[in-house]
Structure 1
């Protein structure tokens, strides 16, 4: 049974207004008393011929598309082009839900739109995901993956330190920003503080997010992939130091055991100067830029843009200022920072475009398996957009559980 089967003429009129057909509401509802059941029987022929005789072909086609969406036995599951399924149509979803025609968990408050999903798990909606299995074992594997990549990155940083060009023979390269930006000694520490702040915000979001294991899996796989790429770029070409203030001397870690011990020191200190870690040669591209950028993108992706807009603005300001402080510290060339931001942001958007559009992933399934095997593996059961739902992760205290349940309602 369809959601529109028991609509009154007033509800049909409201539906027409919500979908941009207000100019025909008087014709269809007031003059011809079309209610829900009659609306579902209308054809293109009915709209073209008297007594309706709508003169605009585009309106006829769009109205038929909207009516066809109502005929879907699962209710409003078909994709409507040109924004025909408007945000305000959630009122009709709520009415249908009260009548028992939708699964009570199918409509959620996402950051962009109120979307409707099907209760038929065999169908792949283009909207919200119905298959939200946390697959904790995959999250664990993604953690192992990023863990190993970070170890490899630390080892590569030791290797490239031995290959740093001599500062007297190879001075800093010309750089349009560094040449015009004065050196600020404390700027790099401020950048790392920005990273710690962004990480604290993201950790809080993960703690309360209902689908935290899916988010962690995506975070680990994307971060690991970007840093694995960074390992290759660091090894391929060794750039001269970007600033004369950097005291770098090559061939410090000639012995294998010394290299391994230094690798462990870098890994345990997360490569941060706040932890006493100083490295040279790991310039192309900036790991600090990667971290603050990917944290910013994850925070803005998995929080509501409408409800906490200030947080999105705040994290973007931190991202921009973090990049500025990296340059102000003369720890990286401008190209290092630019490439890091570009690769991180593009990979994040590419990953989520495929994850949020099941049809794209299915169409290019074989190509995706070859060029993006981790995505094919980790997202095999997550068929579309992950809604931003929050909960208290523990069974106690019950007052918090009731608070979050009330928020969801």
Structure 2
């Protein structure tokens, strides 16, 4: 080999940066060569002009990736021939699990380029109607309402005689003169706030989910009342409230008639149907008033703050009227408020958090006896219900909607 040929081969190796390495970043297809063996093969192949030597060296060393610039393991940079711009991937800068691509030419680290990736399409709606679940919750509420009236129909015969046993000592009833008209005021307020709450539920966009939540909570409250006032019968708190005379015996037919009478009056005295006594712990009037306020506050628009205040005031005045009428002891009202608010808050807290809908050692709320029913009704609800409203009936929207064949 002449000196001119040796110099020519040396210049070629200097100009080719990949010729000095034995393996490329994308792997090698040939066997590993001993130290210095690769250089001798390249030199001899270049001098002799044989194609086999070039196939073993240049085909492997000169192999280029599909993208401009191959990543090197040293600095995680992407280099490209003929370009002074480098890009790198920074694992520490991630937003929404999307890596950012930074321009290496900017020294202060600014110039972040965010790649907006659209959210994947959901196969199922986030807030499904599931009307059959709402019907199931309604049946649950009706069943427990009938259970409550049945318990009262049977309890009426066990109420202590008013002429023998007077009212229990009560700090409010003992210091407030009885006013019979106050009960009518309380029940009128119940009618007003309950109808107001019903309007907000009907116009709520997710009315079926809201309705079944209310049905379940009311059903649980009715069930608790049917147990508490039946197991412990208190003396009459009022000396003027009318109670039907006792028969000193009961039959299935008598109980059925009493139940139908109570249901026909919706449990209100202003209808003249609630003439059976003994349902004290806890107060049903307080339950309805507080529950209606919670419904209005939770599922009405936030801008309806005056309505929230009016509902709260109406509930408070209604409870005070119950006490003034001596229809319940003070402890009945306090227990009713506590049980209603705790049950409402527990149910909605569980409904708004996905992790609380799963059974596990860390979720102690899953030990509630009604948790399986709650899980079945709420498992497909994906988060907090938005305060959205629409028209509940289809026919006005159908007439106002633009027909596909109509131009105007």
Q: Is the pair's TM-score, using the shorter chain for normalization, greater than 0.5?
A: yes
Pair 1:393 & 2:404 matched: no
Q: CA deviation at 1:119?
A: 5.2
Counterpart in the other structure of 2:337: 341
Q: Distance in 2 between matches of 1:238 and 1:176?
A: 20
Are the equivalent residues in 1 in contact too, given 2:203–2:389 (CA < 8 A)? yes
Q: Residues 132-184 of structure 1: CA distance to partner in whole angstroms, max 9, x if unpaired?
A: 11110010011111111111111111111111011122110000111112211
Which sections of structure 2, spanning at least 5 residues, go unmatched?
1-86, 100-113, 402-408
Pair 1:295 & 2:320 matched: no
Q: Distance in 1 between matches of 2:378 and 2:228?
A: 27
- Shift of the 121–257 alpha-carbon distance from structure 1 to 2, 3 Å rule, reads same
Counterpart in the other structure of 1:371: 369
Counterpart in the other structure of 2:307: 311
1:271 to 267, 270, 276: 267
- Shift of the 392–230 alpha-carbon distance from structure 1 to 2, 3 Å rule, reads same
- Shift of the 384–283 alpha-carbon distance from structure 1 to 2, 3 Å rule, reads same
> Alignment partner of 2:394: what SS?
coil
Q: Distance in 1 between matches of 2:379 and 2:398?
A: 36
Counterpart in the other structure of 1:405: none
1:150 to 141, 145, 150: 145
Q: Which protein, 1 or 2, shows the higher relative CO under an 8 Å CA cutoff with sep ≥ 6?
A: 1
Counterpart in the other structure of 2:218: 223
Q: Distance in 1 between matches of 2:174 and 2:399?
A: 54
Counterpart in the other structure of 1:254: 250
Q: Residues 161-212 of structure 1: CA distance to partner in whole angstroms, max 9, x if unpaired?
A: 1110111221100001111122111111111111111111112112211100
2:96 to 64, 71, 79: 71
1:165 to 160, 164, 174: 160
Structure with more helix by fraction: 1
Q: Distance in 1 between matches of 2:221 and 2:149?
A: 14
Normalising by structure 2, we get a TM-score of 0.66
Counterpart in the other structure of 1:115: none
Q: Which one has the largest radius of gyration?
A: 2
Q: CA RMSD in A?
A: 2.9
Normalising by structure 1, we get a TM-score of 0.66
Number of matched residues?
A: 295
- Shift of the 119–193 alpha-carbon distance from structure 1 to 2, 3 Å rule, reads farther
Are the equivalent residues in 2 in contact too, given 1:391–1:401 (CA < 8 A)? no
Q: Residues 103-124 of structure 1: CA distance to partner in whole angstroms, max 9, x if unpaired?
A: xxxxxxxxxxxxxxx75659xx
Are the equivalent residues in 2 in contact too, given 1:368–1:376 (CA < 8 A)? no
Q: Distance in 2 between matches of 1:135 and 1:213?
A: 7
Counterpart in the other structure of 1:244: 239
Are the equivalent residues in 1 in contact too, given 2:358–2:366 (CA < 8 A)? no
Which sections of structure 1, spanning at least 5 residues, go unmatched?
1-37, 44-66, 75-95, 103-117, 123-128, 403-409
Q: Distance in 1 between matches of 2:97 and 2:300?
A: 31
